[in-house]
Amino acid sequence: MAQKIAYQGEPGANSNIACMQMFPELESVPCASFEDAFELVSSGEAELAMIPIENSIAGRVADIHILLPQSHLQIVGEFFLPIHFDLLGIPGSTIEAATEVHSHIHALGQCRRLIREAGLRPVIAGDTAGSAREVREWNDPTKLSLAPPLAAEIYGLEVLASRVEDDPSNTTRFVVLAREKELPTRDELPGPAVTSFVFRVRNVPSALFKALGGFATNGVNMTRLESYMVGDEFAATMFMVDVEGHPEDLPLRLALEELDFFTTEVRILGVYAAAEFRTAQTVTA
């Protein structure tokens, strides 16, 4: 039986493409929600989940910062996918005859130039690939979809315009989740590594400044820092962090030891190999 990787969205979505590119040997399983994808992994029905965590234009993916720490799954990898959208319609349709374009709100926002120039009315759909499926089902030449290229193949639509996103550098970062296990040692992960964790600071003045100071003084590069509220009293703040390095590396080990002095909770979400995209960007910079 083929091993499975779960993703949120319909067949043809960007998450589906990320699964196929990073794990072509695995069966990609669509899920209606992130929670459903997490549950497939937790229950053992799928070995992995591919979850978008941030986009270079739209920022963080809503709810993931809360759902991920609660899932008790472990980050075991990352993948960066350049995001491309095609304008799709049923066979025989044209841009000139169309009046509406359907897609996820982020896709519509990332293709404003085309929508404006073509004089189309944007209509929000729950999913990019789902909008392609709906356009196929409606069989109406006045309705078009903005969706990833794979959706055209799956739903039998014509590509009326390719790569219509406003910003060609648009990229989404995904994390690969698995059931919890022992974190890999430095010997098991010899190359560039990323450590992801969450922490909560003590309720003392300048706690965050002091908590982060150890990363600066030890020369640890922090690539992501996001805050979010926990509970319902707006009094407790959690921070989700990505840093370069492995916890066994001396600089990061010292920084984490210093972090302990100023926090009430620190939990590592994963230690994993840095994606080639990340290391290439670092070299280019």
> What are φ and ψ of residue 233, in 5° steps?
-110, 0
**Buried-state track 38-71, b at ≥16 Cβ within 10 A, e below 16:** bbbbbeeebbbbbbbbbbeebebbeebbebbbeb
Q: Which residues, 6 or more positions from 228, have their beta carbon under 8 angstroms from its beta carbon? A: 65, 66, 237, 238, 240
Could you give the residue numbers annotated as active site? 172, 174
- In order of 36, 104, 284, the CA distances from 277 in angstroms are 28, 25, 11
Closest Cα to residue 195, out of 114, 273, 110, 265?
Answer: 273
> Among residues 44, 36, 6, which one has the least CA distance to residue 176?
6
If one counts every other C-beta atom within 10 angstroms of the C-beta of residue 241, the result is 20
Angle at alpha carbon of residue 246, lines to 241 and 252, rounded to 5°: 70
User: Given phi > 0 = left and psi -120 to 50 = alpha, else beta, which region is 156?
Assistant: left
Torsion of CA 127, 132, 138, 141, to 10 degrees: 130
CA-nearest of 158, 131, 165, 161 to 147 is: 131
Residue 135's nearest CA partner among 177, 190, 92 is 92
